[in-house]
């Protein structure tokens, strides 16, 4: 990798999602999918976006990548700032270039991202030569280095194989190589390891950690708090289309303030050693279009009292920690009592 870790600026905001709303737009109606989401991606940091299925993680990630339109949704409020520019106002062509060069993407299913008709080498060389002034030999060198950086052994030999000849774990790393080959400043990784066995999963996560350590700002979308606790620096917990709690991983996972975060931790024992039983949260995430006006977790919340049906705002709770629950001090107190 060409980044020199000694010169990397850390903790600097690289990309800021500012209060975005995303809606699915039909002919005569629109449904709000994601509401008032703000996330700062910082150089050298992995920011996790966590929450149950259907909470809006992928919609948020796609908004950053400018890919929601293809899925019938659009950003209709707020802004996404990157390098002094508003990404929301870029044309599809400008966004396409930015995505290739400065913002890398890794998804859960590599088969949609790696062209089955091309050898691995051809896919990589095409990305390189589209965006860089290099000759064939130069492109080859960069491609082989990207495969090595993505943890692929025998990189030279892998250049000549087709995706169908590779295992799922290797293909996932090829997708990572494609995402990092142009040394992007931002990496959006949406469930990058969900389809992998635990050993390959750990290897891919370590690679993502290394990329952050070398200066990339990473958004790591996951439902796995164990991985968050091991690899991420910051976390935003999403529920029913908005962020309910955010802050440094050690604060949020050790001292959750939102009842939903606390329940998620109980359901993910590896993320927290306080519990030895697996808890599932009764009920389901409200679907877009059926979101209650007040607290969205109210129907599933053990702390709910009268007043919780009122809208909640995301409020600061100590330094860098924020929570969208006016009962948060009772939650914190109850967890403290349980621990002591």
Ligand X SMILES: Nc1ncnc2c1ncn2[C@@H]1O[C@H](COP(=O)(O)OP(=O)(O)OP(=O)(O)O)[C@@H](O)[C@H]1O
Identify which of residues 134 and 291 has a Cβ nearer to ligand X in the complex.
291
The minimum distance between CB 236 and ligand X, in angstroms, equals: 12
Q: How far is the CB of 68 from ligand X (least distance, A)?
A: 7
Please give the sequence-ordered ranges of beta strands (E in DSSP) within the chain, or none if there are none: 13-25, 30-42, 46-50, 73-82, 85-86, 103-106, 186-190, 217-222, 234-239, 242-248, 315-316, 322-323
Nearer to ligand X, 70 or 306 (CB): 70
Instruction: Give whichever of 222 and 312 is closer to Mg ion, judged by the CB atom.
Output: 222
| Closest among 44, 54, 52 to 232, alpha carbons compared | 44
The SS3 call for residue 338 is helix
**Phi and psi at residue 61, to the nearest 5°:** -65, -40
The site partner of 250 among ligand X, Mg ion, none (C-beta below 5 to 8 Å per kind) is: none
Based on the shown chain and the rule CB under 5 A, indicate whether residue 58 belongs to the binding site for Mg ion.
yes
Q: What is the closest distance, in whole angstroms, from the C-beta atom of residue 62 to ligand X in the complex?
A: 8
Residue 101, contacted partner among ligand X, Mg ion, none, CB below 5-8 A by kind = none
- Residue 24 interacts with, from ligand X, Mg ion, none (CB under 5-8 Å by kind): ligand X
> Which residue lies nearer to ligand X by CB, 283 or 307?
283
Pick the piece of the chain touching Mg ion (CB under 5 A) from 2-10, 54-62, 74-82, 289-297: 54-62
User: Which listed option, ligand X, Mg ion, none, makes contact with residue 73 (CB within 5 to 8 Å by class)?
Assistant: ligand X
Residues 66/99, Cβ–Cβ less than 8 Å: yes
Q: Which is nearer to ligand X, 73 or 314 (CB)?
A: 73
Region from 55-63, 284-292, 305-313, 320-328 binding Mg ion, contact rule CB under 5 A: 55-63
- The answer to whether 158 and 140 have CB atoms below 8 angstroms apart is no
- Residue that is written with structure tokens 């790591």 in the block: 220
Residues of this chain that bind ligand X (CB under 6 A): 24, 33, 51, 53-59, 71-73, 223, 287-288
Residue 216 interacting entry, from Mg ion, ligand X, none, C-beta within 5 to 8 Å by type = none
Nearest to 69 by CA among 98, 95, 37, 40: 95
The set of long-range contacts for 120-124, using a CB threshold of 8 Å and a minimum separation of 24, is 120/147, 120/158, 120/159, 120/160, 120/161, 120/162, 120/163, 120/166, 120/174, 121/158, 121/159, 121/160, 123/174, 123/178, 124/159, 124/177, 124/178, 124/181
User: Which residue, 73 or 143, has its beta carbon nearer to ligand X?
Assistant: 73
CB of 6 to ligand X, least distance (A): 37
- Give residues in contact with Mg ion (CB under 5 A): 57-58
């Amino acid at each position: 990798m060409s980044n020199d870790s000694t010169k990397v600026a850390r903790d600097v905001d690289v990309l800021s999602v500012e209060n975005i709303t995303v809606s699915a737009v039909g002919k005569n109606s629109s449904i709000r999918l994601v509401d008032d989401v703000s996330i700062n991606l910082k150089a050298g940091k992995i920011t996790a976006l966590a929450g149950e299925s259907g909470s809006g993680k992928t919609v948020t990630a796609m908004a950053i990548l400018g890919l929601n339109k293809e899925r019938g949704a659009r950003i209709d409020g707020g802004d996404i700032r990157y390098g002094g520019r508003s990404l929301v106002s870029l044309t599809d062509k400008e966004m396409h270039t930015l995505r290739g060069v400065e913002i890398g993407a890794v998804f859960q299913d590599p088969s949609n991202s790696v062209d089955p008709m091309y050898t691995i080498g051809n896919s990589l060389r095409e990305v390189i030569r589209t965006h860089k002034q290099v000759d064939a030999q130069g492109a080859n060198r960069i491609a082989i280095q990207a495969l090595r950086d993505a943890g692929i052994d025998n990189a030279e030999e892998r250049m000549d194989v087709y995706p169908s000849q590779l295992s799922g774990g290797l293909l996932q790393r090829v997708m990572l190589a494609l995402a990092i080959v142009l040394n992007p400043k931002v990496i959006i990784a949406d469930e990058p390891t969900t389809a992998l066995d635990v050993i390959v999963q750990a290897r891919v996560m370590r690679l993502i950690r290394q990329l952050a350590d070398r200066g990339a700002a990473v958004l790591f979308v996951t439902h796995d708090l164990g991985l968050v606790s091991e690899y991420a620096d910051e976390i935003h917990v999403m529920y029913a289309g908005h962020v309910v709690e955010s802050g440094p991983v050690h604060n949020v996972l050790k001292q959750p303030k939102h009842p939903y975060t606390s329940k998620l931790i109980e359901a993910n024992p590896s993320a927290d050693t306080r519990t030895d039983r697996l808890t599932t949260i009764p009920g389901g995430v409200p679907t877009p279009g059926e979101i209650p006006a007040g607290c969205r977790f109210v129907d599933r919340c053990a702390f709910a009292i009268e007043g919780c049906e009122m809208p909640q705002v995301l409020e600061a709770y100590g330094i860098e920690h924020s929570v969208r629950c006016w009962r948060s001090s009772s939650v914190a107190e109850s967890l403290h009592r349980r621990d002591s």
